[in-house]
Structure 1
Amino acid sequence: MSSPSALSSPPELTQQEQAYQAQVQRDLPRNFLANLAHGMLGLTGFKLMHAPTFVPAYIFLLSGSKVAVGLALGAQFIGMAMSSIWSATLIEHREQVMKVVYSVGWMMRLQIFCLALSTFFFSGHTALVLACVFLALFGFFGGMQGVAFNFLMSKVIPTNQRGRLIGLRNFLGGLIAAGVAYVGGEYLVGSNAFGNGYGSTFMLAFILTSIGISALTFVREPKSLTVRKKSAGFRQRVAEIPALLKGDDDYRKFFYARALGALGTVAVPFYVLYAGQYVSLSGATLGYFSLAFLLSQTISNLLWGRIADARGYRLVFLLSMALWGGATLLLICGASLPVFVIAFCGLGAGFGGYQVASSNFVLEFGKSHELPMLIAVSDTASHLMMALGPLLGGVIATYFGYHLIFWLALLVKTLSLIMVWKLHEPRHRMQAAHS
């Protein structure tokens, strides 16, 4: 395959593009269903791991320290930041990336399994250290999978149908996750099932994600029309990042907006701990909060997907960021279980919309052979901020209280919203290029 500097002639490339698009359309029903099945179960376990309830509560139970909660969750995102750009260098010269997606996906799930086992066989300081290690490795392989999987998505699902798939996938997967989260809180954690309720919940997450990834074996991936020549090295590609950012003003604005939005997650691990100052964090209460957060995230995904297909991810980003900020204000003002449940609904819907927009918006910038690095660069900035956020939040919570964390989160979310407001909808550029 050719490099970006030596592409096929226009007539030949047009013919290749026609054959490529024909294959995409021919395999679309199969690929749509495979991705949907993966989302229904594969993402369910990940939602349990990422929900601001079980993992923070487990780490706090082990350590009794807000800083430790930030450290453990920060370790996960440091792992993601370390691997994203490296992942791009592993796939950008490949005509097909399905094998990478599948292999890395299993390594990611293995860390959930090991975390679950560690809760049964270890306790105290040892369990805390192992949790940090496995969360860091979970993040490392998650960062790799994020780049490879999103690139695969850009190849097999057309732009104007991606929102429908993501919305439906997240809706069905979220329904399952919400139910599992409630069961996990009410029955597994609440009754300390099998000797450790948190371990039982993590093991259930592993089982669900393992079933889900099997569906990806049915994906039919077309060979890329153009790929980069194999990079001379990781350092060379890193050195090219400044030029990549300078080359597209709108992508650069998105890059900064996503990083700021990710820094807004500084408050996420502390939602449930803040509520715990006013209501008892029993297994049932954790179930209620998890159900509210995940169910609202689930239902809103149908709306976010419809908006994305019709109007683009820029609007999804703006609306979800505004909702996320409003729900944070409600949490600050809350002091009772009903208000907190409503706040968690808004937090889930807003945070869910931000995740959908931030991870899929990038797929509409640049050309196909540029996408792996465009995805990786924005992912890396996002993960670094999400690593810094919990660590910073833990220190602030310890010395200054939760309110300052929430106001800091509101500030960076507002800056992120302004940045996206100023950029042009990239889908309009794509339409102009093909007209």
Structure 2
Amino acid sequence: MNSKESNLEQLYDYLNDEEDARTCKAIDDKACKETPKNYFLLLVSNMLTSLGDTLSNPKTVLTWVMSYVNAPVMLISFIVPIRESGSMLPQLFIAHYIRQKPVRKYVWVLGSVLQFIAIAGIGFVALSFEGSAAGWLIIVCLVAFSLARGLCSIAFKDVLGKTIPKQKRGKLKGYTASVSGILVLAAGLFILYKSKENVGIEFYSYLIFFASALWLIAALIYANIKEFPGETEGGKNGFKEALSRLSLLKEDKQFRNFVITRSLLLCSALTAPFYVLLAQRYVGKEAYLLGLFIIANGVASIISAPVWGKMADKSSKKVMTYSAILTASLGLLIVGIIQFIPAWRDEVWLYPVAFFILGIAHQGVRLGRKTYIVDMAEGNRRTDYVAVSNTLIGFILLITGGISALAALISVEGIIAILSGLGILGAIKSATLPNVE
């Protein structure tokens, strides 16, 4: 063992509180020997893709860029639904084929390379096109990105389970989130710094090019993971399995009500781009404002996730209710300010503060619904719940994106008001759910 490997093992043992013999639950001895190296390869690769996600986030950066190149608001309404549903729906079709492969890290590598190409394509479009043409081409690139993301999502869970022991996986995600959060804040501060210059579309395009390169670097790092061949049997066609279990919606009232609640709570994700559009309309398109949005979203996630998490362990339905009320109240407040207090709508502080509060609410929605469905059932029943709900939510996202696009023909404020109304319904519906803790 060379000194580099020894230092890596020491750092791994320190981060995971390993004092004596290393424990490797749920993985074999061969994989156990490679754990320290694999641990940090996974950490760095996911840290890079998390930063890439931030620098090409549909809620902030892509909304900003599409508005900057004068893409129609109707198309901007679709970017969050496409980003979310596009990575969810294809998993049902491709999981069967991926599980036939004894080594799956290369599926993740392929997905990461395809995401690099798709995001780089968005940067090229922003640099070269304007108006509807730019909007449609960015949508095409985003569809490709989301489909590739589905590959990574499936492969990551399998590779993680084969290379990292139980009771170490949560810490790995925690460290990844912490380091990524610091990098996100650094990115926001960098954009604030650059805003002192008179930046144009070239700056935003290069920012997206940089984001795309992070997926390519991550793919090169991930390819070095030492993954031993695993099982290839038992893979079922996820789409057929999900369809066959749609009867759960009819038979299981609690699950049906949860799916309805989760659908209504999509308002927290779908509202975000329209806050950015309001800021651009009433304050301007200066780069510092984008930096403030990125920082606000990053800080909201860092400070609120632990609080919502503790609350969810006591009552996840209350977390969903409170966060839905927060989302709806904020939306109606912003619409009221714009309509009735014109002096405030031109204030720079209003929109980053609103985005920060929305970020807190969205974290509550995410943690609340994830905890609820995990606690609602066990074993195969839980797997069925997840498969069916993810399938339905993927389709519902596209439908709600279409509704938002139609509402865009009225006004941005009108969209926020409609989505806030859904949030109120979501709060009422979640309050009626039974406790599952």
Aligned equivalent of 2:216: 210
- The root-mean-square deviation of aligned C-alpha atoms, in Å, is 4.1
Aligned equivalent of 1:331: 334
Find 2:398's aligned residue among 372, 384, 387. 387
The DSSP-based 3-state class of the residue aligned with 2:409 is: helix
**More helix per residue: 1 or 2?**
1
Distance 1:278 1:236, change over 3 A: closer
Find 1:297's aligned residue among 286, 291, 301. 301
Q: Is residue 65–residue 126 contact of structure 2 (8 Å, CA) maintained in 1? A: no
Looking at structure 1, the residues matched to 192 and 402 of structure 2 have their Cα atoms a distance apart, in angstroms, of 26
Aligned equivalent of 2:114: 107
Residue 111 of structure 1 deviates from its aligned partner by: 0.7
Q: Is residue 267–residue 390 contact of structure 1 (8 Å, CA) maintained in 2? A: no
Q: Deviations over 1:122-181 (max 9, x none)?
A: 445543332121011112222343344356557777887766554543332133123214
Q: Is residue 304–residue 316 contact of structure 1 (8 Å, CA) maintained in 2? A: yes
Q: Deviations over 1:349-403 (max 9, x none)?
A: 22234345556765665537984x754543333333333334322332331x333
Identity %, equivalent residues: 20
Q: Is residue 95–residue 224 contact of structure 1 (8 Å, CA) maintained in 2? A: yes
Q: Is residue 267–residue 389 contact of structure 1 (8 Å, CA) maintained in 2? A: no
Q: Is residue 178–residue 290 contact of structure 1 (8 Å, CA) maintained in 2? A: yes
> When the two structures are superposed, what TM-score results if normalisation uses the length of structure 2?
0.74
Could you tell which deviates more after superposition, 85-94 or 265-274?
85-94
Looking at structure 1, the residues matched to 253 and 298 of structure 2 have their Cα atoms a distance apart, in angstroms, of 35
> When the two structures are superposed, what TM-score results if normalisation uses the length of structure 1?
0.74
Find 2:77's aligned residue among 70, 76, 79. 70
Structure 2 segments unaligned to the other structure (5+ residues)? 1-22, 338-343
Looking at structure 2, the residues matched to 339 and 162 of structure 1 have their Cα atoms a distance apart, in angstroms, of 39
Find 1:171's aligned residue among 169, 178, 185. 178
1:403 maps onto 2:413 in alignment:
yes
Distance 1:402 1:90, change over 3 A: same
1:131 maps onto 2:135 in alignment:
no
Looking at structure 1, the residues matched to 378 and 98 of structure 2 have their Cα atoms a distance apart, in angstroms, of 17
Q: Is residue 95–residue 227 contact of structure 1 (8 Å, CA) maintained in 2? A: no
Find 1:21's aligned residue among 19, 26, 49. 26
Q: Which residue type is aligned with residue 206 of structure 1?
A: S
Larger Rg: 2
Looking at structure 1, the residues matched to 161 and 249 of structure 2 have their Cα atoms a distance apart, in angstroms, of 21
Q: Which residue type is aligned with residue 202 of structure 2?
A: N
Q: Is residue 77–residue 387 contact of structure 1 (8 Å, CA) maintained in 2? A: no
Kindly report which structure 2 residues correspond to 1:32-431, keeping only aligned pairs within 5 A, or say none: 33-77=40-84, 79-80=86-87, 82-91=89-98, 97-150=104-157, 165-184=172-191, 187=194, 191-192=198-199, 196-214=202-220, 216-217=222-223, 228-231=234-237, 236-237=240-241, 239-243=243-247, 245=249, 250-304=254-308, 311=314, 317-334=320-337, 335=344, 336-356=347-367, 358=369, 366-367=378-379, 371=383, 375-399=386-410, 401-421=411-431, 422-425=433-436
The DSSP-based 3-state class of the residue aligned with 1:21 is: coil
Looking at structure 2, the residues matched to 250 and 153 of structure 1 have their Cα atoms a distance apart, in angstroms, of 32
